[in-house]
Amino acid sequence: MKRFDVVTLFPQMFDALLDWGVTGRAHERGLYEFVAWNPRDFAANAYRTVDDRPYGGGPGMVMMAPPLAAALRAAKQRHRSCGVARSTVVYLSPQGRPLDHARVIDLAAQDALVLLCGRYDGIDERVVEAEVDVEVSLGDFVLSGGEFGAMALLDAIVRQLPGALGDAQSAVEESFVTGRLDHPHYTRPEQFEGRAVPPVLMSGHHAAIAEWRLKQSLGRTWLRRPDLLETMTLDARAATLLREFQDEFRQQDLHGQAARSAA
Domain spans in the chain, listed from the N-terminal domain onward: 2-168, 191-262
Report the pLDDT averaged over residues 197-212: 96
pLDDT at 123 over 80: yes
Distance between terminal CA atoms of the chain?
62
User: Which of 240, 207, 208 is closest to 199 using CA atoms?
Assistant: 208
pLDDT at 163 over 80: yes
Report the pLDDT averaged over residues 113-135: 97
pLDDT at 235 over 90: yes
Distance CA 182, CA 221 (A): 8
The β-bridge partners of 117 are 92
- Using 50, 70 and 90 to split pLDDT, how confident is the model at 127? very high
- Using 50, 70 and 90 to split pLDDT, how confident is the model at 146? very high
Q: What is the CATH number of domain 191-262?
A: 1.10.1270.20
Topology at the third CATH level for domain 2-168? Alpha/beta knot (3.40.1280)
* pLDDT value of position 190: 94
pLDDT at 173 over 60: no
pLDDT at 263 over 70: no
pLDDT at 99 over 90: yes
Which ranges in the chain belong to alpha helices (H)?
15-19, 21-28, 65-81, 101-108, 125-131, 146-158, 168-173, 206-224, 226-229, 236-262
Dihedral sign from CA coordinates of 129, 131, 134, 140: negative
Report the pLDDT averaged over residues 56-85: 97
